[in-house]
Structure 1
Amino acid sequence: MNFFERQALAKRNTTRLVVLFAFAVVGIVLAIDLGVLLVFGGDPRLLVVSTLLALGVIGIGSLYRMASLRGGGESVAQQVGGVPVAEDTTDLHLRRLRNVVEEMSIASGVPVPKIYVLEHEPGINAFAAGYSPSDAVIAVTRGALERLNRDELQGVVAHEYSHILNGDMRLNIRLVGVLFGILMLGLIGRKILQHGGAVRGRDAMPVLFGALLALAVGYIGLFFGRMIKASVSRSREVLADASAVQFTRQTVGLAGALKKIGGLHDGSRLAERADAEEVSHMLFGDGTGLSGLFATHPPLLQRIQALEPGFKADGLERLKAQWLSAPPNGLDEDLQLGLAPAGHAALPGISTRIDLTPPMVAAQVGEPKQDDYRRADAIVATLPQELRSLASRRDGAAPLLMGLLLTDDDTVADRQRSEIIARMGLQVAAEARRLRDEHLRGLHPMLRLPLASLAFPTLRLRPRPELATFLDTVHAVVHADGQVSLFEYCLGRLLEVQLRESLDPARYARFGRRKPGNVRQEFATLLAVVAHCGNPSDPDQARRAYLAGMQRVLPRDHLPYAPPAEGVLALDAVWEPLDALDPLAKQVAVEAITDAVSHDGRVSVAEAELLRTICGVLHCPLPPMLERG
């Protein structure tokens, strides 16, 4: 199952959630109506009132909870007590976690998520939350940081990245909202019983009955809620384990983390049980202890045996006895296993031409492999230390990104500098110019987008008005000379998409339903721009590239090649319709674009950047290096 098929599965699970929620609501309303019928008789007006009241409470509860989660992943992490990990942290555990997350983001082609730690949780657990990769957070317990070695931590984080890439996060966060609604009646009944002592006389019995009925219905809601979470979650956890192994190309890390959950006293339980119940379907491991029909995760031994078929139950008992007196220490194990950061892999020579095929690119979308992790580690090591430091500093990310946008033409750069000064001040403009002159001019083109991805999580920490000013400045800098280069467009578009989605994540959380036949003209425009950018001085070659792409995506249509007069800016009109494509249609789209850029069998770095930008805007993340050396 590839990325697009998993996205389609997540889309079907969203529909399934709606159906299960509807059944739960019907069950709760029928239970309330039955109670009213038994006590007050069969007055139709009373039954209508009780039905409407129940639906109103459920609807208001769900809408309220979903509104409280509009902030996306950050809202969830903060509500369960998560503490953000500083970009410049010196804590060895947190630094190791940040390194793992940054490398995995570069390897998978998604923005670096915000990182949180649950400081007071000694169990081994983690979760990913958010509506889209642009607002995602990764949260890890302190127990996971202290007990897991680097391979095990990477396995856990890879498991969570599979939820980010597969579209599970938006389903998870919506599940929190809708389930709160069906639990509302029970919460109301409990509060009335707790604080209803002031009600006396003839009013006491109806109030007491209403509270008891609401409490009873609340348990029905709890039953349905747990059943829905278990139904939706278990199969996705199995898939996430498999994806994590596929990502890291080794089972030892993930299996080791699961063994430590089974062998240590704290396991994967969360101390805050109320929070654990609400987010149990998001967690890496079982946080509540529920089993049987209500279990949100497959049995631990079953998960381990899926990775190591020969592992037996008595193996967990031996580990429990071993770790009872001497619990494992993740950093010490890193030293013993040679996993401590003693250096980085060397970055191989990067060709200015890249070999690829449409099926290969489609297979790489959302599918980072072990080579991608090694390459990501090498990319981070190759970047100058000052640039990496600036990317992690709140006052450094904006000048760094502006410096990436400054052209080598000093006359145009002076105009761009004036635009920066007018909006962000002289200091930012001067620092951007210095970085361009001292570091960025000599930076290999294939390192520019990965560097920008490292700066993104720091940038989005700025207040909303500052981010609006930043985006306005990006637009002005890109258009300073009336012409937009391919790289300026790529970086500017990615920044705009990622920042706008992070500012209002719930607005952009959706699965598309359109088919290629509904967006013919948009495909024609996109492929014409791609073909022209790859062959600017050879119209015949560009036409062949265009036709190669159209043949794959719309083989029965005959739309002539017509490169737009506005060049790459014509793409502004195609993004929204194309992003609304069905997941499986997006796979065909990615293959068609690849056909257009690789019709001659080779792809330039500029074309590769455009391909990555298109995939990023369409939420089909690609690794930074497309070749499989």
Structure 2
Amino acid sequence: MNFFEYQDRAKRNTGLLVGLFALAVGLLIGITTLLAAALVAYSRGQAFSLVNIDQLLGWDTVAMIALTIAAVISLGSLYKLRQLAAGGRAVAESLGGRKINIAPHGEAEQRALNVVEEMAIASGTPVPDVYLIEDDAINAFAAGYKPTDAVIGLTRGCIEKLSRDELQGVVAHEFSHIFNGDMRLNIRIVGLLNGILIIGLLGYWLLRGSHFSSSRDNRGRAALFGIGAGLMVIGYTGTFFGNLIKSAVSRQREFLADASAVQFTRNNAGIAGALKKIGGYTAGSQLTSGNAAEFSHMYFASGLKRSFANLFSTHPPLAERITRLDPQWNGHYPSTANEPAGISVTSQQDAQVMGFAAAVNRESASCQQVIDAVDNSIGNPSEQQVNYGRQLLQSVPATLQQAAHDPFAARALVYYLLLHKGENERRAQRELLQQIAHPAVVREMHKLEPQLQSLPASARLPLLDLCVPALKALVPQQYQVFKRNLIKLLRSDGKVELWEWALYRVLMHALEGTPDRQRLSPKKGAERDAARFMLAAVAHAGHAEYLPAKRAYESGLKALQLDITPLPTATDITLQRLDKAIAIAGTIRPLRKPALLKAIAATMSHDGVIEAEEIELLRAIADSLDCPMPPVIPPSEMTVSSHSRNSAIA
């Protein structure tokens, strides 16, 4: 099963989950109706029977009970989901997390941030915000609605007690939750459970009210007590079954995430070692935060004490997970987690990457190689791509990496990356920035220019990804000025270079995520029109003359099995129309997206090869369609990587 199938299944699983909870709500309505009928029979001094419920209550009353229960649960769920509207950040902050992307403290936090950044670059996703939870337990989580608002949370015990390989295994496990569509499902579970729990809380408040009510109305007090007790039973019964559903869904997703982590890193010892250390560690994986139970199904390992008969356990037993990863395990849990992991020691894998060439060559790739990447690598980075991602990160000078983590300097980096290649256009853009940008930002751009000029083409997107967490930290007024300046910069020369637009779109997708709904067209055939326009834009980007562009465009149409239509002129390719096309294309079903990406690859490769900039353009388009595409490794780098790994094995 590949990324697109997982995404499609995640959508269906969401529907199944909502159906299961709807069934639970229906049962609660039925139990509440029985309770109400029993109370009415008691108040009238009649015998209660299931047969005469309609006589005791009447269908209007039954309908009112159903509407009330449904409304209470819906409002409780919507309230919680509203609290979590910020996505992963809301979850991390509710657990007391501190964002470390901008200012990591100490070697352990810096190492953890490096591991997350390497995995993000290797997988083609925006670098997520990384939150540190000050807890001695060894645990982690991924939370959010989609990759653009995802966060990775790591506990203090996780970053200090685990080796680099073990930490990489844990981070890979959490990234698999991002790829497999688990995060949105997890947040919705929190909202639905909160709605059901509200009924129990209402019962608790009524019980307290009956306790403090006047003793002169004993019959009314007894009725209030009965309603409160009944609602508590109903609410907590619903929570009981809701937690069963949550636990059953979560346990299976953990096995999948473990397997995916091994597939990414090709190192089962890393994640297995982390699980073994949890088993032998005094603090284990149990979190001390007061809100830990609410998000128990999101953690790398169980964050709570084992419940009755493991009925509510959101994770499989540690021993079972370890045995699947390491069949030769002897059942012994090491106690070494009680000692620091030796943070400053460079792992063997680090040494291998340091041996790679620092610069990334501008090389081409075949169409088949790119199509294979679409089929097999999106949301599923290989070991080579993880290592290559680390190489790409190290090809970015340390000065630029440091600047990317600063909200002030990150704006200077983005401004430079969007400068036009032509000398005259670039001069005009520089003059424009002098007028509209903060003078200190412009000075910072000039200061960083020597390193930016020598930046490899393949490192442009990684550098942009590194800037995302810092840019998210801008206050709203700063962000709006920054965004307006970017748009003015793109429009300054009266035309749009597709590469400039691609960088801008990647950045906006990472910072804002949801497309402008006003751009979406409800008319029939809008998706086909959007695909045609994107193919036309790519064809013009790769060919200055009309006839070669026309042939490339028709090649893409054939790959997508669309009728041949006239190629729009280059002047028709505008920023607004490109944004609208990508927004419409982003709404198509996951299983239909590979065909569009392959058609774009066919358009690019009409002349026989896909150049490095075209590969990065395809990755930018894939990113905007929520399809994280890892970097395509040039053949020479694949040879270097394989040689280094074989040497280490020998």
Q: In 2, Cα distance between the equivalents of 1:47 and 1:187?
A: 22
Report Cα offsets for 1:73-107 as digits up to 9, x if no partner: 10011112212225232412111100100111111
Q: How does 1:140-159 map to 2 (within 5 A)?
A: 140-159=154-173
Q: What is the CA-CA distance between 1:254 and the residue it aligns to?
A: 0.8
SS for the counterpart of 1:268 is coil
Residues 540 and 570 in structure 2, CA contact (< 8 A), matched pair in contact too: no
Q: What is the CA-CA distance between 1:408 and the residue it aligns to?
A: 4.9
Q: Could you say which residue in structure 1 is the equivalent of 2:486? A: 474
Q: What is the CA-CA distance between 1:467 and the residue it aligns to?
A: 1.1
Q: What is the CA-CA distance between 1:485 and the residue it aligns to?
A: 1.8
Q: Could you say which residue in structure 2 is the equivalent of 1:8? A: 8
- The one-letter amino acid of 1:20's match is L
Q: What is the CA-CA distance between 1:108 and the residue it aligns to?
A: 0.7
Residue 86 (structure 2) pairs with residue 71 (structure 1)? yes
Residue 337 (structure 2) pairs with residue 331 (structure 1)? no
Q: What is the CA-CA distance between 1:492 and the residue it aligns to?
A: 1.2
Q: Could you say which residue in structure 2 is the equivalent of 1:114? A: 129
Q: In 2, Cα distance between the equivalents of 1:575 and 1:343?
A: 36
SS for the counterpart of 2:341 is helix
> What is the TM-score when the length of structure 2 is the normalising length?
0.88
Q: How does 1:289-300 map to 2 (within 5 A)?
A: 289-290=306-307, 292-300=310-318
Residues 359 and 591 in structure 1, CA contact (< 8 A), matched pair in contact too: no
Structure-2 change in CA distance of 1:388 and 1:360 (3 Å): closer
Q: Could you say which residue in structure 2 is the equivalent of 1:23? A: 23
Q: Could you say which residue in structure 2 is the equivalent of 1:500? A: 512
Q: Could you say which residue in structure 2 is the equivalent of 1:424? A: 437
- The one-letter amino acid of 1:346's match is F
Q: Could you say which residue in structure 2 is the equivalent of 1:285? A: 301
Specify which of 298, 306, 325 is matched with residue 324 of structure 2.
Answer: 306
Structure-2 change in CA distance of 1:195 and 1:265 (3 Å): farther
Residue 391 (structure 2) pairs with residue 378 (structure 1)? yes
Specify which of 574, 580, 587 is matched with residue 580 of structure 1.
Answer: 587
Residues 529 and 563 in structure 1, CA contact (< 8 A), matched pair in contact too: no
Q: How does 1:36-435 map to 2 (within 5 A)?
A: 36-41=36-41, 42-44=56-58, 45-119=60-134, 121-194=135-208, 197-201=211-215, 202=217, 203-272=220-289, 275-288=291-304, 289-290=306-307, 292-311=310-329, 315-316=330-331, 318-319=332-333, 322-323=334-335, 327-332=337-342, 335=345, 338=348, 344-347=354-357, 349-355=360-366, 356-409=369-422, 411-435=424-448
- The one-letter amino acid of 1:282's match is M
Q: In 2, Cα distance between the equivalents of 1:242 and 1:303?
A: 10
Q: Could you say which residue in structure 1 is the equivalent of 2:463? A: 451
Q: What is the CA-CA distance between 1:545 and the residue it aligns to?
A: 2.5
Specify which of 603, 609, 612 is matched with residue 610 of structure 2.
Answer: 603
Q: What is the CA-CA distance between 1:51 and the residue it aligns to?
A: 2.2
Q: What is the CA-CA distance between 1:69 and the residue it aligns to?
A: 0.7
Q: CA RMSD in A?
A: 2.6
Q: Which has the larger radius of gyration?
A: 2
Residues 360 and 458 in structure 2, CA contact (< 8 A), matched pair in contact too: no
Q: Could you say which residue in structure 2 is the equivalent of 1:543? A: 550
Report Cα offsets for 1:427-477 as digits up to 9, x if no partner: 2223224433x2222222111111111111111101122112111111001
Residue 572 (structure 2) pairs with residue 566 (structure 1)? yes
Q: What is the CA-CA distance between 1:22 and the residue it aligns to?
A: 0.7
Structure-2 change in CA distance of 1:180 and 1:414 (3 Å): same
SS for the counterpart of 1:138 is strand
- The one-letter amino acid of 2:177's match is H
Q: Which runs of 5+ in 1 are unaligned?
A: none
Residues 163 and 240 in structure 1, CA contact (< 8 A), matched pair in contact too: yes
- The one-letter amino acid of 1:344's match is M
Q: In 2, Cα distance between the equivalents of 1:259 and 1:516?
A: 55
Q: In 2, Cα distance between the equivalents of 1:496 and 1:280?
A: 32
Residue 475 (structure 2) pairs with residue 463 (structure 1)? yes
Q: What is the CA-CA distance between 1:255 and the residue it aligns to?
A: 0.8
SS for the counterpart of 2:152 is strand
Q: What is the CA-CA distance between 1:528 and the residue it aligns to?
A: 1.7
Q: Which runs of 5+ in 2 are unaligned?
A: 42-55, 639-650
Residue 491 (structure 2) pairs with residue 484 (structure 1)? no
Residues 277 and 337 in structure 2, CA contact (< 8 A), matched pair in contact too: no
- The one-letter amino acid of 2:150's match is A
Segment of structure 1 superposing worse, 57-66 or 291-300: 291-300
Q: What is the CA-CA distance between 1:194 and the residue it aligns to?
A: 4.6
SS for the counterpart of 2:408 is coil
- The one-letter amino acid of 1:350's match is N
Q: What is the CA-CA distance between 1:341 and the residue it aligns to?
A: 7.7
Q: In 2, Cα distance between the equivalents of 1:183 and 1:620?
A: 36
SS for the counterpart of 1:99 is helix
Q: What is the CA-CA distance between 1:343 and the residue it aligns to?
A: 7.5
Residues 155 and 254 in structure 1, CA contact (< 8 A), matched pair in contact too: yes
Residue 541 (structure 2) pairs with residue 533 (structure 1)? yes
Segment of structure 1 superposing worse, 349-358 or 108-117: 349-358
Q: In 1, Cα distance between the equivalents of 2:79 and 2:511?
A: 25
Q: What is the CA-CA distance between 1:340 and the residue it aligns to?
A: 7.1
Residues 360 and 395 in structure 2, CA contact (< 8 A), matched pair in contact too: no
Q: What is the CA-CA distance between 1:401 and the residue it aligns to?
A: 1.0
Q: What is the CA-CA distance between 1:396 and the residue it aligns to?
A: 1.0
Q: What is the CA-CA distance between 1:376 and the residue it aligns to?
A: 1.9
SS for the counterpart of 2:291 is helix
Aligned residues: percent identity?
38
- The one-letter amino acid of 2:64's match is V
Structure-2 change in CA distance of 1:186 and 1:269 (3 Å): same
Moved over 6 A (4+): 339-343, 514-518
Residues 107 and 343 in structure 2, CA contact (< 8 A), matched pair in contact too: no
Q: What is the CA-CA distance between 1:410 and the residue it aligns to?
A: 5.2
